[in-house]
Chain A
Amino acid sequence: MSEEEKKDYAESPINLEYHYTAGSATTRFLNQVKEGKIVGQSCPKCSAVYVPPRGSCPRCGVATNIEVPLTDKGCIESFTIVHIPIPGNPIVPPYVCAMIRLDGANISFLHLIQGIDVEEIRIGMRIQAVWKPKDEWTHSLENIKWFTPIDEPDVDVATLRFQES
């Protein structure tokens, strides 16, 4: 019997094409990111600031309709050093994937940390965005190449937990 005949499975590729749309909250956010600005959205009830915004505050179940300009500085809430490649991403392991908490924001998002020996990265470390050249900016947080540590004292992450005032 040939190898082909012995095969106990068949490949049947599925190709589906989608035309994604971002929705209103994300569109507002990405229009600012295109200009190199990070603008969070805050909850009209509890004032929690969301970045990147999805358009709602799940604490209160209401739309986050207040725009809050933020800087591109923050701290590392936690992180992992990834030793395996991401399918379809050229980045070479090991690389650091961190929960970034921007100053004034009440949730974090995942992004890369570079510009430091991976063994020196700590929870609570202060960081700032490193942007791509302006002419490469698009409607994506990939306008930020990565975040890099800055010379400021570490933050006690226990103090970051959102408390309703």
Chain B
Amino acid sequence: MIQAGVIGVGQTKYDAKRRDVSMGGLVREAIDNAMLAANVEWDAIDAVILGKAPDMFEGVVMPELCLADAVGAVGKPVLRVHTAGSVGGSTGVIAATHVCSGQFKTVLTVTFEKQSESNATWALSPRYPYSPHINAGAGGYFAPFIREYIRRYDAPEHIGWKVAVKDRLNALKNPLAHLHIPGIDEKMVSDTPMLWEPLRYLESCPSSDGACAMVITSKDLVGSRDVAWIKGMAVRSEGTLSAGRDEVNPQAGIDCAKDIYDQAGITNPYKEIDCAEIYVPFSWYEPMWLENLGFCNLGEGWKLTDKDATAIDGEMPFNMSGGVMSSNPIGASGMIRFGEAALQVMGKANDHQVEDAKVAMGHAYGGAAQFFAMWIVSSSLD
């Protein structure tokens, strides 16, 4: 297989409303940053791969058409990916696939969401005939799975608060993060209103505007640039309403993780992966994914969180950037995980850098916890 690496990651400042830029301006901000970091010019870009979550979030149908100029795709191939919340991750995988296929040398990939342009809750809860109108948004959908996790493994309530605090303290080290909450602690989290029990306000992700871009190139064009080598990448999906599906610990997530570990030659992820950016939109998904991704046995995830293993200086740092809990431009959230993992192994994560990070994991999930995209990046090819 052709080897490929990330040579540039670019992000926007994340915020609730980026009214200072249009949709085109938002994606271009991330693209300019990525191309500057990669030190490539437009004539080097062979194709553009664009991802975002449902078009209804902005009210634009198939936005690759109206953004063709803004993303620099005119005269080039452009592909638009939509795999629900996992789209940022799967767009990264498809962009790398363009290079690994041998058809393209260098590609630009960009993902975005400008949630302030529309009403995401409306887009997610339209009133359809025939079905009871009790949809309470994403939090209302995932809260029952979280409650079942807590019941199964007898996890104490403060675990959710801990993750909420840890990720927001990390965000203070990331100037691009949407939420900066100085002095956040478990009491502050537990004092915030309950939204979808057991999830409190500060245990939930914000709704953000933002974009993330990457430049991916083939081994022969990397030259002397800093690079995050892609050592494994995979996607897995399972049907929403499938009898026997375990929503708490989805088989698609287990299989997807195993696939990338096998590709990267990883047998013990907890020991061999230095840090991970994992899609945690609600605090409790940290312990749930620790288990689903094989970092520990079932029922042990919350114990790892409890003993600070996932802190930035812990044994298995999770979401050093502040994660989805601190910035959530939905369509870009997965690519931010992939890009932040790349920044870590390139040694470019600035104040939220994990010391000596050599191998990092990026992860995204979407739909009813049924779509998964993951990758492993490394500072070396060996």
**Whether chain A touches chain B in the assembled complex (some CB pair under 8 Å):** yes
Residue ranges of A at the interface with B (Cβ–Cβ < 8 Å): 8-9, 14, 20, 22, 26, 30, 43, 46, 48-50, 52, 54, 56-59, 77-84, 86-89, 91, 94, 97-99, 106-107, 110-112, 123, 139-142, 144, 157, 161-164
Q: Is the interface of A mostly helix, strand, loop or mixed?
A: loop
With an 8 A cutoff between CB atoms, is B2 at the interface?
Answer: no
Report B182-213 residues with CB < 8 Å from chain A CB.
193-199
Instruction: Write out the residue numbers on chain B whose beta carbons fall within 8 Å of the beta carbon of A106.
Output: 243-244
Beyond contacts A80-B196, A83-B196, A97-B144: 13 other A-B pairs, Cβ-Cβ < 8 A, are: A22-B129, A59-B239, A59-B243, A59-B244, A80-B143, A82-B197, A83-B195, A84-B196, A86-B136, A89-B134, A91-B134, A94-B197, A157-B148
Q: Is the CB of A20 within 8 A of B128?
A: yes
Within 8 Å by CB of A79, from B147, B199, B242, lies B147
With an 8 A cutoff between CB atoms, is B238 at the interface?
Answer: yes
- A140, B246: Cα distance in complex, Å: 27
Q: Is the CB of B147 within 8 A of A123?
A: yes
Binds A, one of B119-127, B158-166, B256-264, B287-295: B119-127
- Kindly supply a per-residue 1/0 record for chain B positions 131-153, scoring 1 wherever the CB is within 8 Å of any chain A CB and 0 otherwise: 11111100011011101100100
| A93 vs chain B, min Cβ distance (A) | 9
Instruction: Name which residue of chain B comes closest to A98, CB basis.
Output: B144
- A83, B132: Cα distance in complex, Å: 18
Instruction: Write out the residue numbers on chain B whose beta carbons fall within 8 Å of the beta carbon of A162.
Output: 243-244
Q: List 8 A-B contacts (CB under 8 A).
A: A26-B130, A50-B241, A59-B239, A78-B148, A87-B122, A91-B134, A139-B130, A161-B246
3 tightest A-B CB contacts, nearest first:
A58-B239, A48-B243, A80-B143
| A130 vs chain B, min Cβ distance (A) | 13
- A86, B132: Cα distance in complex, Å: 12
Which of B129, B147, B148: most chain A CB closer than 10 A?
B129
| B372 vs chain A, min Cβ distance (A) | 16
Contacts A9-B19, A161-B246 given; does A99 touch B144 at CB 8 Å = yes
With an 8 A cutoff between CB atoms, is B59 at the interface?
Answer: yes
Q: Is the CB of A14 within 8 A of B131?
A: no
- A97, B197: Cα distance in complex, Å: 10
Instruction: Write out the residue numbers on chain A whose beta carbons fall within 8 Å of the beta carbon of B147.
Output: 78-80, 123
Instruction: Name which residue of chain A comes closest to B144, CB basis.
Output: A78
- A50, B241: Cα distance in complex, Å: 8
- A162, B251: Cα distance in complex, Å: 14
Q: Is the CB of A79 within 8 A of B144?
A: yes
Q: Is the CB of B193 within 8 A of A83?
A: yes
Q: Is the CB of B134 within 8 A of A110?
A: yes
Instruction: Write out the residue numbers on chain B whose beta carbons fall within 8 Å of the beta carbon of A50.
Output: 241, 243
Contacts A78-B145, A123-B147 given; does A57 touch B243 at CB 8 Å = yes
Within 8 Å by CB of B132, from A78, A107, A140, lies A140
- A87, B196: Cα distance in complex, Å: 15
- A16, B331: Cα distance in complex, Å: 23
Instruction: Write out the residue numbers on chain B whose beta carbons fall within 8 Å of the beta carbon of A54.
Output: 241
Within 8 Å by CB of A81, from B20, B131, B194, lies B194
Instruction: Write out the residue numbers on chain A whose beta carbons fall within 8 Å of the beta carbon of B132.
Output: 110-112, 140-142, 144
Q: Is the CB of B140 within 8 A of A87?
A: no
Instruction: Write out the residue numbers on chain A whose beta carbons fall within 8 Å of the beta carbon of B59.
Output: 14
Which of A56, A77, A84: most chain B CB closer than 10 A?
A84
| B237 vs chain A, min Cβ distance (A) | 10
Instruction: Write out the residue numbers on chain A whose beta carbons fall within 8 Å of the beta carbon of B19.
Output: 8-9
Instruction: Write out the residue numbers on chain B whose beta carbons fall within 8 Å of the beta carbon of A139.
Output: 130
Instruction: Write out the residue numbers on chain B whose beta carbons fall within 8 Å of the beta carbon of A107.
Output: 241-243, 245
- A11, B282: Cα distance in complex, Å: 31
| A14 vs chain B, min Cβ distance (A) | 5
Which of B122, B132, B197: most chain A CB closer than 10 A?
B132
| A52 vs chain B, min Cβ distance (A) | 8
Q: Is the CB of B136 within 8 A of A123?
A: no
Q: Is the CB of B144 within 8 A of A140?
A: no
Instruction: Name which residue of chain B comes closest to A84, CB basis.
Output: B195
- A128, B197: Cα distance in complex, Å: 23
| A156 vs chain B, min Cβ distance (A) | 11
Instruction: Write out the residue numbers on chain A whose beta carbons fall within 8 Å of the beta carbon of B244.
Output: 48, 59, 106, 161-164
Instruction: Name which residue of chain A comes closest to B118, CB basis.
Output: A14
- A98, B143: Cα distance in complex, Å: 10
Instruction: Write out the residue numbers on chain B whose beta carbons fall within 8 Å of the beta carbon of A86.
Output: 125, 133-136
Which of B136, B245, B246: most chain A CB closer than 10 A?
B136
Instruction: Write out the residue numbers on chain A whose beta carbons fall within 8 Å of the beta carbon of B198.
Output: 80
Q: Is the CB of B243 within 8 A of A20?
A: no
- A116, B238: Cα distance in complex, Å: 35
Q: Is the CB of B242 within 8 A of A58?
A: yes
Instruction: Name which residue of chain A comes closest to B248, CB basis.
Output: A78
Instruction: Write out the residue numbers on chain A whose beta carbons fall within 8 Å of the beta carbon of B151.
Output: 78, 123
| A107 vs chain B, min Cβ distance (A) | 5
Q: Is the CB of B194 within 8 A of A140?
A: no
Within 8 Å by CB of B133, from A20, A88, A144, lies A88
Q: Is the CB of B140 within 8 A of A89?
A: no
- A88, B20: Cα distance in complex, Å: 31
